[in-house]
Amino acid sequence: MRLPPRGGHRRDVGGAEAPAPPGASRVPLVLFPVLIIAITAVIDVSTPRTTQVAPLLVAAPVVAAATISVRATAVISAIVVALTVAMNVYHDLWGALSSDMTLASAAAVGLASIVAAVIREKREAELKQVRSVAEAAQRALLRPPPPRIDRLAVRSVYLAAEAEAQIGGDLYETLQTPYGARVLIGDVRGKGLPAVGVSAVLTGCFREAAYREPTIGEVAGRMEETALREIDRDDPCEAYSERFTTALLVEIPTEEPVARIVHLGHPEPLLIQGGTVTGQLPDRPGVPIGLGGLVGTLPVPQTIDFRPGARLLLYTDGFIEARNEHGVYFPLAESAARHADEDLDGLVAGVRKDLLRHAGRQLADDAALLAIERLPDTPPPL
């Protein structure tokens, strides 16, 4: 994809390759209209007078308008007009009706191409501005996790389904709090700006509640209150909304070899220990955030062993619902087991590569993954 940002965070955009640096493709692109002009001129010189190829020159400014700068398009248009005049004089057609029509067409297409190039460059500038805003929002919503939180190593992947997407409905956060490391991963129902808005609200709530609430279950309760308040503000008549968010909240205390997990309708995490991968199904699953009124009680955390060397994989459904050309879902657990003996970077890179290979580099949904490893009590410096 591109170079991973700081903090071990890897972000892809649809598995696409990194875009070329600005201006890197302009030099070869200008060869296309020039090539059209050169080929047309050669054909014109080498064919009889009765063969009129000058009208083919108008293709050059059209191609230029779509690929190169306004100034270069104007130059190409001027060359086409001048060459059209030269061809008519060379074939002794100057002053004929066909000559005048060809020249008028070349001038009109040239002017139209210049206008089209101006409009294109304006829209490209607007798109660049929109992307810069999206990237700022991306950094605020999905901050790269630190490579280490106390005795934990953390790596992440975010794969956007659309090549131009910067942000979506998947969210995650990792924090060092007085109660140990606290981690959130979730998936907002829906797409577009509404999903981004919900992501921003819930991520902000988690960042505040994770430092204040003594239990991870109470953090989930605070997020539920926030979600219901937002739903009520937007539509007071909506009793039970379809605007919900599946999530996992994880608390990993520093001094205890355990992890406490709150399941809120989200796919279960995978525990990798001793080369074995097991799904951590909840004893008492909770409902997604936004539907807590259906049960009326705080979710109960599930406690699992999480000793040095163990790893947790938290992910959104984009990692398990990606299908290949035969409609087969991506086997995340098998992929994780295949790379379980590698270091954490190798594990994450291997799973990411397997997913893109399985889905043919075309994802139907955003996919986020957090990999957390408990390090020895005295880990070597990174």
* 231-267 pLDDT, tens digit each: 767 665 554 456 788 999 999 998 899 999 999 999 9
For the residues 18-47, what does the mean pLDDT come to? 71
Residue-wise pLDDT tens digits, 288-345: 988 877 776 778 899 999 999 999 999 998 899 888 888 899 999 999 999 999 999 9
**For residue 237, what pLDDT is reported?**
55
Nearest to 165 by CA among 361, 13, 365: 13
Minimum mean pLDDT range among 49-58, 78-87, 198-207, 223-232: 49-58
pLDDT at 9 over 90: no
How many other β-carbons are positioned within 10 Å of the β-carbon of residue 133?
Answer: 11
Nearest to 317 by CA among 372, 280, 369, 279: 369
Q: Report the alpha-carbon distance of residue 18 to residue 157 in Å, rounded.
A: 16
Q: Which amino acid is at 138?
A: Q
First to last CA, the chain: 24
Decide: helix, strand or coil at residue 187: strand
Question: Residue 271: which residues within 8 A CB-CB, separation 6 or more?
Answer: 277, 278, 279, 280, 304, 306, 310, 311, 312
Q: Does domain 144-374 have CATH number 3.20.20.70?
A: no
Q: Can you read off the two tokens belonging to residue 279?
A: 């799904």
For the residues 175-192, what does the mean pLDDT come to? 88
Q: Can you read off the two tokens belonging to residue 278?
A: 């097991």
**For residue 381, what pLDDT is reported?**
55
pTM of the shown model: 0.68
**For residue 286, what pLDDT is reported?**
85
Q: Report the alpha-carbon distance of residue 35 to residue 26 in Å, rounded.
A: 15
List C-alpha distances in Å: 22 to 53, 117, 127, 212: 36, 17, 14, 45
Question: Residue 253: which residues within 8 A CB-CB, separation 6 or more?
Answer: 179, 180, 260
Q: Can you read off the two tokens belonging to residue 284?
A: 């008492």
Strand partners, 357: none
